Each structure stands twice: as structure tokens, then as C-alpha cells.
């Protein structure tokens, strides 16, 4: 097959990345032209006397007009929308290319004639010193000759280019998003490009209509802006005002007549369950409560391991005492293996290395992680897995594994899901001790610790949930620094405060051996609440229970 020539590629290319590069190169050329005009303007204004134009004020106005049109219509819009939008937007929404690839090419090739027209409008005859072509300064009586007409042709060409690009961006965002990427989950850059395209689609037809009326006044003897012919010089401004009122009124009517859906970000397992059913059609799907618990438990004790380039694995390590936890996870997920990690330490691992299972895990955790530090590690893991599928897509025949868009946000848990139970199974602690200054008193305490300052807000959020639901307008506990550096503890002290936590743990029971500790802890709290610790005979049994509460 004959290789495509260099000129053919860059002239007829429809690839969004190639088009982005052409937009960027074109924008840089236009920027150099606009910068040259800007230097001339600055040189003229560098001193009180005329420095560059020798008193020719019209020439100064021509340079200002050319500079404004070149920088806005030939540099800012092509580079921001054409270059950055074309390059990044399809990749950020998981699209192969723009929705209308050939339209993308046509949109660009409307711009070079626009550059030629602006250069000609500056250099032909006296030039177009009209500013934004406002009448009556741009009328035939004030500016005869083709220079103003060429400036208006340039505005027409750049408006056509921007309109085609805006329609292309909006259709791409609406129709080319990858599976599972909803509008409310899109990156802010995509939203910015979408709204910019929407505004261009509203404003540019109005600008084009106003310029077209002026063009007809100059060349076809109409009188839209001519006072002598019954026109109005400020019809140009009225055109913008009427279109703004029309669009804004229509938009507000739509908002008032429809319910506004506020998206409250929470755990979403739809995509995971969809692919789980495809990969394991004969296996029972995990229920929502388990998945919520599993994410919380993994954020405490799980790990995404990146050893060699594509040697990826998902690991949860537990002691022999909590081996039942690993079996519980394996039985619910129906994937992964349990292996012994160390005979000396008597520890076991729940290990997952199959790329199919890791793909499901990434679908489960993507956009459902609470801790920022865990999410950052997961982003590295997901990017490496995406790189693997992209590189070996054809050789391994794994077309079903679509690349996943990383969701960089973190969700917040609530009292209506089991995430906190899983997290407390991994990181929580129930403590009961005898006060040294009074042998008849006990101190009950619930502790939840987390490392790094960036995770502190999660503990604050958990405490606020407990305060809101069980605190009766009082704080149940506090967030205090641990003796270790960059470590924080959520502490809830006191019998009454700890008893209030039981409502959540009864609704979402603990799964690990901490459930036994919790039951012993509740027995201690109930005995203290009933003043049984004041009885010397019962107090001895309570001391023994206190020592064995976590054994």
C-alpha cells in the first residue's frame, strides 16, 4: 500500500489529534501576526508624541481592528476550542474521534481564508479602521472600498468555522461518551468545552446576521442601518439584545417547566454488575450491602499492587484469626484465590491476578472510593491496567475490555450504606480499660484511626454523621492527633456515647472478629449503664471481660 504523502495527510486528515495540531500551528501563526500589530500599537503609545504612525490616526485604528480580530477569531478561539478541545475532549469521554470527523476538517479549512481576508482588510487601500465593524463608522459613507467588506467576510468565515466546531463538540459530548460515563460524571474540562460550544451556537448566528445586514447596506443599497433610508444605526446592537432576550426567556421557561434533578454522588455499582453478569453468567451476583462493606474493608486492609510493568494484583492480607474473612470475600465475589503468605507469621492473602477479575475490580472501585490516598493509588493501578489493555488489545483478542475513564473524585459514606462497617472492620477498635485512679470505674472508648492529613476530613465526616443521627445536638467525640506523625484518631468516649453507636452496628453488623469484640463491648456498656460495676463480685468478672474484649 502506497504511503500517504506529508501534504496529503495534513490536508485531508480527519483524526482529531491531527486536526488539533493544525489548529495549534494555525493559531501560533495568527498569534505572531497579532503580536506584531500589538508591538506597533505599544510603540506608538510609548511616548506622548506620535512614534510610529507619524500622526496617521486612521492607521492606528486599522491596526487595532486587525489586532482584535486576529487575536480573538484567529488565535484564541482556534487554539482553545480547536486545538485543546479536539485533542483532549474525545479522549476524556472515551470516544474514538469527534462525532463528525470530516466536518472537523472543513471547520479548520474555513480559517486560512479568514486569515487572508483580515490581512487584506488591513493592507488594502486605507484599511478597515472600524473597530467591531459598528455602523455608521463602517457604512459606505465613512469607509468606502473593499477593506471593510473583507473584514466582514473574515467574520463570516470564522463564524462558520466556529459554528461547525460547536455543533461537532455538542454532538460528540451527547452521543460519543463511553459506557457508564454520565453527563454529571464528566470532567470539568469537558463541561467547559460543552458550555462554550453552546454559547457559540447561540451568539455567532446573531453576529453573522448583524454583519450580513451591514454587508447588504454597503453593496445592495438596503437601509437597515441608514437613517436616511428609514433605518436605525443601533439596529446592530438591537439584534444582539433581541436574540439574548429570546434565548434567555426560552431557557428559563424550560427550567421552570421541568423538574431539576440534583445528582447526589453515592456508590454506583451498575457497570460492575453489568460486566460481572457477562463474565460470570452462572455465578450469583454480590448484593449491594456486601459491595459497600467490601469497599470500606479494602480501603482499610486492601492493596492495589504494581510490581513489574504489567504484573498487577489485588491483595487483602489477614492473620489466621481472620481467615474466615477472606473466605467470606471469595465466596461472595466468586473470584480470586486464598494463599498462605507466611508460615512464620501465620498470615494469609486473598489474591487476584487475572486481568478479567482485575478489570471487574476496577469497575467496582472506580468512582466509589472514599479515602483520597487510596484513590490516588488506585488511579495509578487503573492507568496501568488501561495501558495493558490498549497495548495488547489486538494480540490477546480482548475487545470486550473497554478502556475505563478514571474518576478522580471521592465519594462520602452515609448512614444508609455499609461502607463504615467495612472500614471499621479493618481500622476500628473497641477499647475498655480500668481507670488507675479508681478501681470501680471503667473507661469505654471507640477508636477509628487514619494516617495522613488528607484523610482527616473522612474521619470528620464520619463523626458528623454520628453527631447528626445520634448526638442530640451534642458532639459524641473528637478528632485528635495520634502519637505517630500525620496520624489522626476519631475517639468516642463514655458509656452513653458508645451505646448510641450500637444502632448503626445492629443495622449493618460487623463481619470480622471485631463483631465478637463489639458484643463483649456492648455487654460491658450495658453492665456499666446498669451500675453493675459497683458490685464487687460482678466487678471482678467485668475486669476479666475488659482484658479479653479484643481477644
In sequence order, the 6+-apart residues with CB closer than 8 A to the CB of 246 are none
Handedness of CA 109, 110, 116, 118 (dihedral sign): negative
Which domains are present in the chain? 6-257 (1.20.210.10), 270-391 (3.10.28.10), 419-547 (3.10.28.10)
DSSP readout, 277-340? HHH-TTSPPPPHHHHHHHHHHHHHHEEEEE-SSS-EEEEEEEEGGGHHHHHHHHHHH---EEEE
Instruction: Please tell me the predicted confidence (pLDDT) of residue 314.
Output: 93
Low-confidence ranges of the chain (pLDDT < 70): 1-3, 132-133, 141, 227-228, 236-265, 308-309, 393-401, 434-441, 473, 533, 551
pTM of the model: 0.54
> Does residue 479 have a cis peptide bond before it, meaning omega lies within 30 degrees of 0?
no
**Do the beta carbons of residue 532 and residue 542 sit within 8 Å?**
yes
Residue 90 · residue 399 · CB < 8 Å: no
Q: pLDDT digits over 353-386, tens only?
A: 888 889 999 999 998 998 888 888 898 888 888 8
Sheet of 347-352, strands arranged across? 302-306, 312-319, 347-352, 337-342
Please report the pLDDT score of residue 323 as a whole number: 87
What is the structure's pLDDT at 240? 58
SS (H, E, C) 391-452: HCCCCCCCCCCCCCCCCCCCCCCCCCCCHHHHHHHHHEEEEEEECCCCCCCEEEEEEEEEEC
CA separation for the pair 210, 216 (Å, rounded): 10
| Phi, psi values for residue 505, rounded to 5° | -75, -20
- What are the phi and psi torsion angles at 329 (to 5°)? -65, -45
What cell numbers appear for 167 in the block?
A: 455543533
pLDDT value of position 23: 94
3-state class (DSSP) for residue 492: strand
CB 196 within 8 A of CB 185: no
Amino acid at each position: 500500500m502506497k504511503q500517504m504523502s506529508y501534504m496529503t495527510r495534513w490536508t485531508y486528515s480527519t483524526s482529531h489529534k491531527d486536526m488539533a495540531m493544525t489548529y495549534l500551528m494555525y493559531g501560533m501563526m495568527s498569534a505572531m501576526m497579532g503580536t506584531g500589530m500589538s508591538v506597533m500599537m505599544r510603540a506608538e503609545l510609548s511616548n506622548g508624541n506620535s512614534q510610529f504612525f507619524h500622526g496617521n490616526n486612521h492607521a492606528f485604528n486599522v491596526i487595532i481592528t486587525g489586532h482584535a480580530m486576529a487575536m480573538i477569531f484567529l488565535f484564541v478561539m482556534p487554539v482553545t476550542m480547536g486545538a485543546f478541545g479536539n485533542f483532549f475532549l474525545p479522549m476524556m469521554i472515551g470516544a474514538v474521534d469527534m462525532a463528525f470527523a470530516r466536518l472537523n476538517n472543513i471547520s479548520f479549512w474555513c480559517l486560512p481564508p479568514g486569515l487572508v481576508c483580515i490581512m487584506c482588510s488591513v493592507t488594502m487601500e486605507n484599511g478597515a479602521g472600524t473597530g467591531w465593524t459598528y455602523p455608521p463608522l463602517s457604512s459606505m459613507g465613512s469607509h468606502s472600498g473593499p477593506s471593510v467588506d473583507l473584514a466582514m467576510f473574515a467574520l463570516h468565515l470564522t463564524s462558520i468555522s466556529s459554528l461547525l466546531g460547536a455543533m461537532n463538540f455538542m454532538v460528540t459530548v451527547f452521543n460519543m461518551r463511553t459506557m457508564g460515563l454520565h453527563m454529571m460524571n464528566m470532567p470539568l474540562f469537558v463541561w467547559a468545552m460543552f458550555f462554550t460550544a453552546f454559547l457559540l451556537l447561540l451568539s455567532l448566528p446573531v453576529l453573522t446576521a448583524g454583519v450580513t445586514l451591514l454587508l447588504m447596506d454597503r453593496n445592495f443599497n438596503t437601509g437597515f442601518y441608514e437613517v436616511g433610508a428609514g433605518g436605525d444605526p443601533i439596529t446592530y446592537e438591537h439584534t444582539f439584545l433581541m436574540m439574548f432576550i429570546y434565548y434567555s426567556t426560552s431557557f428559563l421557561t424550560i427550567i421552570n417547566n421541568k423538574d431539576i434533578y440534583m445528582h447526589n454522588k453515592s456508590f454506583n455499582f451498575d457497570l460492575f454488575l453489568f460486566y460481572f453478569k457477562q463474565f460470570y453468567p452462572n455465578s450469583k451476583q454480590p448484593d449491594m450491602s456486601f459491595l459497600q462493606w467490601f469497599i470500606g474493608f479494602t480501603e482499610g486492609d486492601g492493596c492495589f499492587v504494581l510490581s513489574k510493568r504489567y504484573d498487577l494484583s489485588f491483595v487483602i492480607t489477614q492473620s489466621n484469626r481472620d481467615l474466615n474473612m477472606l473466605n467470606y470475600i471469595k465466596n461472595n465475589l466468586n473470584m480470586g484465590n486464598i494463599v498462605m503468605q507466611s508460615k512464620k507469621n501465620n498470615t494469609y492473602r486473598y489474591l487476584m491476578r487475572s486481568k478479567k477479575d482485575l478489570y471487574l475490580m476496577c469497575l467496582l472501585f472506580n468512582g466509589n472510593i472514599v479515602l483520597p490516598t487510596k484513590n490516588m493509588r488506585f488511579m495509578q493501578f487503573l492507568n496501568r491496567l488501561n495501558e495493558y489493555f490498549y497495548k495488547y488489545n489486538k494480540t490477546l483478542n480482548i475487545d470486550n475490555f473497554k478502556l475505563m475513564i478514571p474518576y478522580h473524585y471521592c465519594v462520602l459514606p452515609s448512614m444508609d450504606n455499609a461502607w463504615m462497617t467495612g472500614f471499621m472492620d479493618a481500622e476500628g477498635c473497641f477499647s475498655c480499660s480500668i481507670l488507675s485512679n479508681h478501681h470501680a470505674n471503667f473507661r469505654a472508648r471507640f477508636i477509628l484511626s487514619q494516617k495522613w492529613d488528607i484523610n482527616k476530613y473522612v474521619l470528620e465526616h464520619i463523626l458528623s454523621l454520628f453527631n447528626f443521627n445520634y448526638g442530640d445536638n451534642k458532639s459524641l467525640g473528637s478528632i485528635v492527633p495520634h502519637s505517630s506523625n500525620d496520624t489522626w484518631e476519631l475517639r468516642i468516649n463514655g458509656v452513653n456515647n458508645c451505646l448510641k453507636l450500637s444502632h448503626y452496628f445492629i443495622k449493618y453488623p460487623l463481619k470480622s472478629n471485631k463483631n465478637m469484640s463489639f458484643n463483649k463491648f456492648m455487654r460491658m456498656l450495658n453492665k456499666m449503664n446498669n451500675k453493675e460495676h459497683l458490685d464487687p463480685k460482678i466487678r471482678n468478672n467485668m475486669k476479666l471481660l475488659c482484658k479479653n474484649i479484643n481477644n
